[in-house]
Copies of this chain bind each other. A is one copy, B any other.
Amino acid sequence: MNERSFIVAASMATKRNNVLLDRREQILEAALLCFAKCGFHQTSMHDISSEAGISVGLIYRYFKNKEEVIAALAAEHKKNIADLLDRAGKAPTLLEAMEILFTSHCSKTSPQIISAFVVDLFAEASRNPRVAKILRNVVKTKADGVAELIARSPEGRKLAPWLEAHQIAEMIFAVNDGTMMRSVFRASSASVSRQRERQLDVARTLWRLLFSRTSHANGHN
């Protein structure tokens, strides 16, 4: 095997690897859609394969069983949350960071779909230990991430000083999750943006509560 053929082989191996990853991604995308539409236990493997445009059997080359598909999506959710926190951490002000956190439930897919899926994920967590483990981690990551965000930003330290960072963080995410939970009601596509508006409204209410004290204090300066 000369250098050239090595390179060719390597590039082929890479390509093959990409194809494998693409398939996985394709299946997960289809599964997410189906799960959001019908729920885990009312989605059949056939539904997923149809949505993905492949045969049922092929799913089993990439996932050992249905539970693994769910777990993989839960893991992906975890990664998305981590990314979100990363992005929020790079925001110049705390306000902008929170805006990022609240305006994107998740990056790629429609928020409607994501929230239906996530509520199902929490429901599943109450009986599936594997999903529970992942979600517990997600919850902790979120809480810690925001607590740190608050603690290390200059505005954060001044805001509502009679509360600890982690208390504020828990509040923020309680509001976040609660809002998401309500968003499962399928809104007519026309009012999706209006629903979004209302969600942001709640978020802004929270911000005002958190910052009013500060601005009030500032007003005394």
Smallest Cβ-Cβ distance to A171: which chain B residue: B205
10 A-B Cβ contacts within 8 A? A36-B126, A39-B123, A116-B123, A122-B123, A125-B185, A136-B185, A167-B205, A170-B202, A177-B182, A209-B210
CB distance from A174 to the nearest CB of B (A): 3
9 smallest CB-CB distances across A and B, nearest first, come from A178-B178, A174-B178, A177-B178, A41-B41, A126-B184, A116-B126, A123-B123, A174-B175, A120-B123
**Chain B residues in 8 Å Cβ range of A37:** 127
Tell me the chain A residues, 98-157 only, with Cβ under 8 Å from chain B. 115-116, 119-120, 122-127, 132, 135-136, 139
Inter-chain CA distance A184–B122, complex, in Å, is 7
**Chain B residues in 8 Å Cβ range of A182:** 122, 139, 174, 177
A160 lies within 8 A of chain B by Cβ = yes
A54 lies within 8 A of chain B by Cβ = no
Inter-chain CA distance A27–B163, complex, in Å, is 46
**Chain B residues in 8 Å Cβ range of A208:** 162-163
Smallest Cβ-Cβ distance to A212: which chain B residue: B213
A82 lies within 8 A of chain B by Cβ = no
**Chain B residues in 8 Å Cβ range of A181:** 119, 122, 177-178, 181
A contacts, CB < 8 Å to B:
36-39, 41-42, 115-116, 119-120, 122-127, 132, 135-136, 139, 160, 162-163, 167-168, 170-171, 173-179, 181-182, 184-186, 198, 201-202, 205-206, 208-210, 212-213, 216
Establish whether residues A202 and B178, one from each chain, have CB atoms under 8 Å apart when the complex forms: no
CB distance from A50 to the nearest CB of B (A): 15
Inter-chain CA distance A128–B20, complex, in Å, is 36
**Chain B residues in 8 Å Cβ range of A119:** 119, 122-123, 126, 181
Smallest Cβ-Cβ distance to A198: which chain B residue: B170
**Chain B residues in 8 Å Cβ range of A170:** 198, 201-202, 205
CB distance from A23 to the nearest CB of B (A): 19
